[in-house]
Structures are given as structure tokens and as C-alpha cells.
Structure 1
Amino acid sequence: MRRRAARWQRHQGRLGHRRRADLHGGGDLRAGWDLCVGGRLALAGGAQAGQDLRADGAIECAKGLRAGGDIESQRSIRTGQGIEAGGSVRSGMHLEAGWGVRATGDIAAAGAIHVGESLQAEGTISAGPGYGIYAGVHVQVEAWHTCAPVRASMRPQALMSGWWDGGGTGSSPAMA
């Protein structure tokens, strides 16, 4: 029994967690390396991965998501709090966060992007064809410039709300 436990600990430390089915949890989930789920990831808490966090199904967390690398779902991503990625954030459908989303890469969704506060990417921010990007939906319009900034390498074409604060290209409300 002791040999099996030691092998499992080495496996966890080196590869992280991989699961081929849905993964449901009543609290927080942490993986030291990758977290890969073959189905839906649904947590009553938040999820944190040292590297990439990927799911073939939807990702739904009552709290936030954090990964040292990419965060990717073939379906929708929905969090009650924020999303932070050391790489890119990609959603096969809609992307929703109660607070904000920050990524050192791109933020992309095949559907709409809907965040309560700020939206920040070092790369680009894009929604699917015919869908919009909505930042600051939980913030009064008068406070957008401080509480709902949208930053990216270029202004998102489908930006519907939030305060565009692009690197050196000026700042303005999304509606301008």
C-alpha cells in the first residue's frame, strides 16, 4: 500500500490531475501542475492549477479560476468571481465572470464575453461572430474608468461596455 501511495504522489507532482469524465466538487480544487478534465468541471469553490487548466465540457466554479498557463474549455466558462491565466483564456462557447478576467495571452470566446468588472489581456480579446464583449456589467457607468477597464493589444471590435484603456491608443467609454 505504501509503494502505491508513493507512486501516486510522484504522479501528481509531475503530471497534475487528468480525469476522463466529469469532475464535481463541493469545495476548492488545486493541482500542482496541469488539471485536465475529459468532461464538465463543476465546483462549489474555485480551481487553481500550476500550469494549464483544460476541460472538454463546461467549466463552472462558484469562486474563481487561476492557472499558471492556459485556461481552456470546449464549452462555456462561468465563474462567480474572477479568472486569471498566465497564458490565454479560450472558451468554446460563452465566457462569464462575476468579477474580471486577466490573461498574459489572448482572451477568446466562440460566444459572448460577459464580465462584472475588468477585462485585461496582453494579447487580443475577441468574441464569436455576432456576439458582444461586455465589461463592467456589475459597475455603475460613472465608475467604468476605474472599475471596468478593458485593456488589450488592440481595441476589441465587439466591445459593447466597459472603459477602453488601450496601451497608448487613448481611453474612452466603450459606447464612444
Structure 2
Amino acid sequence: MFKIATGFSELLPVKNIAGVIRAVARVKTKNLALWIVGDGRERDKLESLARSLRVEARFWGRVPNPRAREILRQADVFVLNSFHEGMPHALLEALAEGVPVVATRIPAVTEILTDQVTGLFVDVGDERSLAGAIQRLVGKPGLRAKLAQNGRQLFQKNFTWEAHLRQLERVFGK
């Protein structure tokens, strides 16, 4: 079973989880599961959409952070399909866990990732491109491994507590 994880937040329209569900419905692969972590006012609509499109979706609801990271580690890919973000914490958690990322090309993401190196970018609202990126990762385990490794290295270099301390030392001196 190829597992796609998304959400890891409040299920709000800005997160465009509906777009992920529609994109997953387009992917021509058997044994595909969409894991949606989080809860919110959109959940009933999203569950109904997944059923109507015959997408195998598991709605985990709200889960504590240690459990969320465990779920994320089991995923084959993480999708961030937001229309906009502040600091995309779920994306950083995916990088930390070594999960390859597909994300919308928005400023908060492009400031962190490099397309084709540490993640795959899709245009905001482009469900065909999102489906294509997922399909590409399903069929290319080597690409998944490369993105996962590069993403984890990026996280280790720039987003750990040690990395923040190094940055502070550079700014303020030792």
C-alpha cells in the first residue's frame, strides 16, 4: 500500500485538502491510501468527497504530536497543498522524518525547498500537476529516496535547535 499523508493541522479551506483528495482520485495506481491527520469544520465535507470519488482515505482526527510523527514516518510521501502558509511546520516535520514532499509553489515553501532537489513543487490549485507529481513518486522509488535524503539533510543543516544556535552565534557572536 502506497501511503500519502496530508493535513497535520486544522482542516481548513486554506489547506486545500479537497484538492489533494481530487488529485489522488486521478492517480492511476492500485493500493493507494490517503491519510489525513487533523480535524476541523471541513472534515464532514472531505469525508463525503473522498467517498464520492472512491478514494481510500483514512481520517485520523487530531492526534498528539508523537503519534502524528509516527504516522508521518509510515507515509511514502507528504503533500502540502495549501493556498498559503506562514511557517509550514508540517512540511518541516516531514523533512525531519525523511518523508519526500510534494508542495504548492508558495513563498513559505519556496523559501525552504528547492524544486526537484528537496521536494517537488506544483502550482497552487493545479490538481492535475499534483496528481502527476504523486504518480511520479509512486513509480520512482529512487526519486523518493533522493528527495527524502536531501530533505532530511536540509532539515538537519537549517532547522534543528543546533542549527538555530549556530545562526544566533553568527549574528551575536560567541
Same fold (TM > 0.5)? no
TM-score (norm 1): 0.24
Q: Which has the higher contact order (CA 8 A, sep 6+)?
A: 2
TM-score (norm 2): 0.24
| Structure with a larger share of its residues in strand | 1
| Structure with a larger share of its residues in helix | 2
